[in-house]
Structure 1
Amino acid sequence: MEKVKISNREIGALGINDLDMLVAFSRVANGLLQNEVMDKETIMANLEALIEDPAPYALKRNGKFKNIADKVIELRTAGKFIKQTRSIHQLKKELMSFPVFGPEHIEVGALAQMKTAIQLPISIAGALMPDAHQGYGLPIGGVLATNADTIIPYAVGADIACRMCLSIFDMPATLVDTERDKLRTLLLDHTHFGMGSKTKVHFDTSLFDRPEWDAVKTVKTLKDKAYAQLGTSGTGNHFVEWGELTISENALEGIPAGNYLALLSHSGSRGFGGNIANTYSEIAMKKTQLPKEAKHLAWLDMNTDEGQEYWLAMNLAGDYASANHHEIHNKIARALHIQPAMRIENHHNFAWKEKLSDGTDVMVHRKGATPAGKGVLGIIPGSMSTPGFVVKGKGDESSINSASHGAGRLMSRSAAFKTINKADVLQNLIHKKITLIGSGLDEAPMVYKDINAVMAAQTDLVEVVAKFQPRIVRMADPKEKAED
C-alpha cells in the first residue's frame, strides 16, 4: 500500500507564502510522517500552531520543529515571511425556509441552531423533527442536506451511527411477567455498559477482517479499542430492554398480528466512533473557518484526503455499531435457543449520499433523526416507561425523507438532577410494571417529551406498524458520565 504523504497544497493551505519555507515544511512534515514519529493530524496541528507562534518551538532544544521555527522567526524579523490569513466563509444573508414539524415541542435554542445551519454557504435544504433539542452545531433532531462533495462531522454527531435494533421473537409477550427473572438474568449476563466497558467473549468478529481497518492510520490505531468494546453499550440514554411488541394486522410482512416478546437496544460506535468524531471535527474546524456562531458546522471537502478518510471511518463506524447490536442480540438469542423471527434496525447519527426530489445530489446529515424513505422501516423509542414505535416511512420530500429519533429531551441532565424526585420515578416505574437495572434521574421518564405528542406531529412522515412497551430495562450505572 502506498504511504500517506502530506502534500504541498495541504501545507500551503496553512498560510505559507514563501517557496523555500514550503519546501522546508514539507521535508520536516513528511520525514516525521514516514518515520512514524507522529501521525498526519498531529503534524499538521503542530505546523499550524508553529506558524501562529514559532517561539515555543524555537525554544525547545532538539525539538522536531526547531529548525523551521528558527527560520520563520528569522524571516519574520526581516519582514519576508508573513502568515496569510485564511478567509472566513460567510453565512448566507437571506434565511432559506425549512419545515419545522411540531414547532410547539421545540425549544428556541434548537430552532436558532437550525437557522444558522441552513445559512451555511453549502446548505441546500433542511428540516427540524418534533423531538429536536439543542446540541453542538446541528441541533439533535436536525436534518441538513449540503453540497454532495461536503460533509460536516458535527452534523453527524459525536456518537457516529448511534442506532436502534429490534429483535422480534415468536414467543408470547406474557413472558416478561412469567419469566421475568430469567429475562433479567439474560440482560445481566450478555450486556455490558459503561464508558470503558469491554467484552472477552465474542459471537462474530469477521468485521475486523475488512481492509478498511488498515487503510487510515487514525482508524488503525483504534482497532484494538474497537475490538475490545465489540458487543458493549454506552452510557446516558443507551439501553437494552425486553418489552411487549404489539403488531397490527398485515403491518409486517411474514409476522402475523399479535403480541410478541421483543428485545430493543440503543447505542452506537463506542470509543471508536467518538475518537473519529473528535479527530475529524477538529480538522474540519481548522480547515474551514466560519463565524463564531457556526464554527461547529465546519465541513470537510470530500475531494481531500481528510474528507475521504472521514467518509471511510464514518461508514466503518456504522458497520461497527451494527455489529455491536448484533453481538448482543445474537448472544441473547442463542441463550434463549431461538432465532428472532425478524430484526429491524436503523442509524440516526449519520450522513448519506442521496438525491432530492428534483434530482439534486446531496449529502444528507441526520443528527438524531430516523431515515424515513417510502416503505423504509425504522424504530422511534420513547423512554424507559413509555412506548416506542416501529414505523414505516412515507417518503415525505419536505422532511428530506426523515422522522424523529425518539421523544426528545425536555430538560438537561443537570436540570433533571435538580428537579426530579426519586420517589416519583419509582412510583412511575411501579405503575408501568417496569423492572429497571442501572440508570439515574437524568434518564427518568419525566425528562422526555410526550412521545405520543411527538408521533402525532409526524403523521405525514411515518406510519406506525407496531408498538413496543418496555418492561425490563438495563442502562449504565448512574455514576457513569453520559456519552450521548
Structure 2
Amino acid sequence: MGNKLSGKDLIKLGFPKNNSINIALGQINRYRKREKKEGILTEAKEVLLFPEKFKNHGTWGKVAEGLLNPVQVRMQQLNTTRAPFSIFGENEIDQQAKFQLYDALKLPISVAGALMPDAHSGYGLPIGGVLATENAVIPYGVGVDIGCRMSLSIFDLPASFLKGRDQQLEAILAEHTKFGMYETHQIKADHEIFYRPEFKDIPFVKGLLDKAYKQLGTSGGGNHFVEFGIVKIDAPLAEWKLVPGEYFAVLSHSGSRGLGANIAKQYTYLATKQCPLPKNVQQLAWLDLNTHDGQEYWMAMNLAGDYAKACHEDIHRRIAKILGKRVVVTIENHHNFAWKEVHHGRECIVHRKGATPAAEGQLGIIPGSMTAPGYIVMGKGNPESLNSASHGAGRVFSRAKCKTMFTQSDIKKELKKHEVNLIGGNIDEAPMAYKDITKVMANQQELVTVLGTFTPKIVRMDK
C-alpha cells in the first residue's frame, strides 16, 4: 500500500464513482495529508457507512453531503428582470456602480436591493450596495474585509482636553496603534474570541488562529484609521449620561485583518466552483446556506465579524489605559457583512457591502474624510433602503487616479486648512479623493437622524 491515498483506494472501500470521490480527495489533501493512509481509510469507511453521523464534521462534513445529497454543479442563468430596488442620491453615483447593482438584482436568488448615496463601483457588489437574497450568501457581496466597522469612544472629557496636547496624543497614536501587514503589538492581549469553537471545528479557520492572535488590536492599510477628535452632541441623551456639548473622543475604522481576508478568499473560490455564472457576474457566485460550505462560511463570517469587534475593543482599551481616562459611551457598527433579516414579509440574507445598518433606533457612525466631519446617527428603519444607510462619504477618485492628480504638498495644504495632524497616510487617501459628506448626508435624510458629529484632529493611518 503506497503512502498517497488515491481515488482507487476510495473505490475499493465502496465509494460511488461520482463527485464524492473528488470531494473526499480534496478534503483529505487540504486538511489531513500529513496523516497515515491507513487511519484516513478507516475514517473514510466510517463516513461511507454512516454519512449522517458526519454531517457537520470539519473534514468529512462535505464528503457526507456528497454521499447523502450530491450537489449538482450547473451554469446559473440570470433572470431577465431585476428584483425591486431603490437608489438614494442617484445623481452623485457613477454609472458603473449602478450597472453592478442591476446585474446583482438579476441573480435568481435576489429578493431586493438598494444603493446608498456614497456608492461607487467595486468587485462583485458595488461599495454602498445592499442586496437581500433567498437563503444564499455571496462572499463578494460581504467583501474581502469581513466585518469592517466603525467604533467611536467618547470620553468624559471636554473638547479642550486636546489643547496643548498635540505632541502627547500624536505619540500615543504612533506608539500604541499598529497598521498594515507587518506591525503587531509587542505585548499581545488575550481575548475570549480565541476560544470560540469555530477555531477548533473548522479546519481552514483553525489554521488562521495564530495569525488572528498576532494581529489582535491592529488596523489594516488603505482607508483604515485611528483618530482623536471632537464629538459635538446636539441633543440630550439620557442613556449616555451626556448633556449637549463638545467632548474628546477616539474613532477607529478597521476590519477582520488576515483572518477575514483569508476566509473571503477561500469561500469565494468554493462559491465560484459550485456556482458557475456568466463572466460579467462571476464575482457574485453564492453559497447555498443549506450546504456544508454555506453553513461553514456563515459561521466563519460571523467569527470574523466578532474578531473585528474584538480588535476595536483592544485598540480603545489600550488608548484609554495610556490616557488614564474613562470612556462614557461607545457607538459602533459593521459595514461589510451579511445578516438574517425579515424584509418584504420573508426572511432574507441582507448583504451590506460598505453600508451601515440603519434599523429603527439603531445607532451608527458615518465618517467623512480626515478633514471632514463624521456623523453619529440613529436609523429610521426605511424599508426602501432595506434598513441601511451610507458607510461614509464614498470615493470620487480611485486610488490610481489620486496618484496622478494629487501631491503630498496638496494634502499638507488641505490638512493645514482644517487644523488636522496626520501620522502616515498615502496619496491615495487624500481628503480630496472623497465625496462631500454634507451632500451624502443630505441625500439620506429619510434613512437616518443625525444626533451629533465627530471632527478629526489627530489622524493615524498606515504609512
Taking structure 2 as the reference length, the TM-score comes to 0.86
Task: State the partner residue of 1:469.
Answer: 455
Aligned partner of residue 118 in structure 2, secondary structure: strand
Q: Deviations over 1:278-331 (max 9, x none)?
A: 000011011001111110001001111111110111000011000101101001
Could you say which residue in structure 1 is the equivalent of 2:164? 178
Question: Relative to 1, partners in 2 of residues 1:373 and 1:85: Cα closer, same or farther, differing over 3 Å?
Answer: closer
**Alignment partner, residue 45 of structure 2:** none
For the 8 Å contact 1:92–1:121, the answer to whether it is kept is yes
Match of 1:240 in 2: 226
The Cα shift of 1:386 comes to 0.6
The amino acid of 1:36's aligned partner reads K
Tell me the secondary structure at the aligned position of residue 174 of structure 1.
helix
Distance in 1 between residues matched to 2:398 and 2:278, nearest whole Å: 26
**Aligned residue number for residue 41 of structure 1:** none
CA distance in 1, matches of 2:74, 2:435: 42
Q: For residue 36 of structure 1, what is the aligned residue in structure 2?
A: 33
Structure 1 distance, partners of 2:386, 2:96, is 22
One-letter code aligned to 2:266: T
Partner of 2:68: none
Q: Which residue of 2 aligns with 1:145?
A: 132
Cα displacement string for residues 445-484 of structure 1 (whole angstroms, at most 9, x for unaligned residues):
100000000000000000110101000000000xxxxxxx
User: 1:446-465 counterparts in 2 under 5 A?
Assistant: 446-465=432-451
Q: Match for residue 92 of structure 1? A: 79
> Alpha-carbon deviations, 1:90-140, whole Å to 9, x = none?
111013341110011100110000000011000000000000000011000
Query: What CA distance in whole angstroms lies between the structure 2 residues aligned with 1:422 and 1:138?
Result: 32
Q: Which amino acid aligns with 2:270?
A: I
Contact 2:272 2:286 in 1 (8 A): yes
The answer on 1:259 being equivalent to 2:246 is yes
Q: Using the aligned pairs only, state the percent identity.
A: 50
Q: 2:191 aligns with which of 194, 201, 205?
A: 205
Question: In the alignment, which residue of structure 1 is the partner of 2:262?
Answer: 275
Q: Give a deviation string over 1:199-228, Cα, whole Å, max 9, x none.
A: 232344222122221110110000000000
Going from structure 1 to structure 2, the CA distance change for 1:336 and 1:400 (only over 3 Å counts) comes to same
Does the Cα contact within 8 Å between 2:393 and 2:434 map onto a contact in 1? Answer: yes
1:128 to 101, 107, 115: 115
* Paired position in structure 2 for 1:215: 201
How far apart are residue 249 of structure 1 and its match?
2.1
**3-state SS of paired residue (1:315):** helix
Residue 102 of structure 2 aligns with an amino acid whose one-letter code is K
**Which of 272, 284, 299 is the equivalent residue of 2:286?**
299
Over 3 Å counting, the alpha-carbon distance change for 1:441 and 1:27 in structure 2 is: closer
CA contact (8 A) 2:84 2:111 kept: no
Look up the match of 2:52.
Answer: none
List aligned pairs for 1:52-451, cutoff 5 A: 86-147=73-134, 149-251=135-237, 253=239, 254-356=241-343, 358-451=344-437
Letter in 2 for 1:164: M
Q: C-alpha deviations, 1:155-184, integer Å up to 9, x for none?
A: 000000000000000111122232111111
Q: Which runs of 5+ in 2 are unaligned?
A: 1-6, 36-70
1:95–1:176 CA distance, 2 compared to 1 (3 A): same
Structure 1 residue 28: Cα displacement: 4.6
For residues 27 and 327 of structure 1, the distance between their equivalents in structure 2, rounded to whole angstroms, comes to: 40
Aligned length: 415
Secondary structure class of the residue paired with 1:303 = coil
The 8 Å contact of residues 349 and 368 in structure 1, kept in 2 or not, is answered as yes
Alpha-carbon distance, 1:27 to partner:
6.8
Q: How far apart, in 2, do the equivalents of 1:202 and 1:139 lie?
A: 36
What secondary structure sits across from 1:442 in the alignment? helix
Amino acid at match of 1:111: K
Asked if the contact 2:100–2:121 (Cα under 8 Å) also holds between the matched residues in 1, the reply is: yes
Q: Does the CA contact (< 8 Å) of 1:204 and 1:327 recur in 2?
A: no
2-structure distance, mates of 1:169, 1:21: 62
What is the CA–CA distance in structure 2 between the aligned matches of 1:26 and 1:327, rounded to whole Å?
A: 40
Gaps of 5+ in 1: 1-7, 12-17, 39-83, 478-484
C-alpha distance in structure 1 between counterparts of 2:277 and 2:416, whole Å: 50
Q: Which amino acid letter does the alignment assign opposite residue 196 of structure 1? A: Y
Moved more, 251-260 or 236-245: 251-260
